Amino acid sequence: MTMNHFSASNLSVAKGVAVDAISDLDAVHTCLGRAPCQRSLPARAGQRGVALVVALILLVVITLVGLAAVRGTIMQQKMAANMYDRQIAFQNAEAAMRAAAASIPTSPGSVARNCQSASVVCLTNPFDDPNLPAGSIKTLATSQYTAGTLATGQPQYVIENMGNFQDPGANTGFNQSANSHNYGVNGGSITNIYYRVTARSGDPAKGDRAVVVLQAMIKQG
């Protein structure tokens, strides 16, 4: 009787172990169907690399924005350099203009030609005139003006005699300006010699730099 009782007990224990094993196996199967249990087993089939594509697109956009910014900066630097070069050229041309105007009364030999003569044709820009007499283009002496180290060289000028004309500021004798003389008013006739001075910042053949050309009418008399 005792032996039979022991066998029954062992059988009960074996059944309990089997039931527990089946319960654990069911729990495992049940856990596999739940969402929290899927974290330990990642679903690789759902990853399609979308984050990589988005990152590459953003990288391309940032690169294009950077290139546009660099291009704009380079363009602004070129504009500033060209403006600075033109300012230097303008100062050179203005210096030549003042020096040429001051030399007219003291240096009549510096006048290139008399444009009032019937046989002389003077173009608007004497520097481009092939009929300009040789030696008419004067280079400003360093004793009068010294160009800076950033300039292309010494400025140049041409002086031309434009002829005698009525002085627009003179009184014709009837309290009228000289313009009234053109309409038949008789009175005092005062004429003056007018010179045309054309100055440029330097010889354009010396480099690819800005060249400024200035022109003015100088009254003498």
Q: Specify burial of residue 60 (Cβ count, 10 A radius: 0-12, 13-18, 19+).
A: exposed
> Is a pLDDT exceeding 60 seen at residue 112?
yes
Higher pLDDT, 2 or 171: 171
Is position 168 within any domain?
Answer: yes
Q: How big is the CA angle at 52 (ends 51 and 58), to the nearest 5 degrees?
A: 90
Is position 35 within any domain?
Answer: no
Number of residues assigned to the chain:
221
Average pLDDT over residues 198-209: 87
Predicted confidence at residue 91, as pLDDT, reads 93
Supply the range of the domain harboring residue 103: 65-220
> Is a pLDDT exceeding 70 seen at residue 51?
yes
Average pLDDT over residues 154-162: 94
> Is a pLDDT exceeding 80 seen at residue 64?
yes
Q: How big is the CA angle at 33 (ends 31 and 39), to the nearest 5 degrees?
A: 75
Q: Tell me the C-alpha distance between 100 and 95, whole Å.
A: 9
What average pLDDT does the structure give for the chain? Answer: 78
Is position 5 within any domain?
Answer: no
Neighbours of 200 (CB within 10 A): 23
Q: Tell me the C-alpha distance between 150 and 44, whole Å.
A: 69
- Is pTM beyond 0.85? Reply is no
Is position 160 within any domain?
Answer: yes
Average pLDDT over residues 193-220: 90
Predicted confidence at residue 60, as pLDDT, reads 95
Is position 17 within any domain?
Answer: no
Is position 27 within any domain?
Answer: no
> Is a pLDDT exceeding 80 seen at residue 49?
no
Predicted confidence at residue 106, as pLDDT, reads 87
Name the range with the highest mean pLDDT among 51-55, 177-181, 214-218: 214-218
Q: What percent of the chain has pLDDT over 90?
A: 43
Q: Tell me the C-alpha distance between 48 and 195, whole Å.
A: 84
Is position 24 within any domain?
Answer: no
Q: Are 172 and 185 in contact (CB under 8 A)?
A: yes
With b meaning 16 or more CB within 10 Å and e meaning fewer, what string describes 17-36? eeeeeeeeeeeeeeeeeeee
Is position 115 within any domain?
Answer: yes
Closest CA to 201 of 43, 113, 86: 86
> Is a pLDDT exceeding 50 seen at residue 3?
no
How many domains does the structure of the chain reveal? 1
| Adjacent-strand bridge partners of 198 | 158, 215
Higher pLDDT, 170 or 198: 198
Predicted confidence at residue 139, as pLDDT, reads 92
Q: Tell me the C-alpha distance between 102 and 220, whole Å.
A: 11
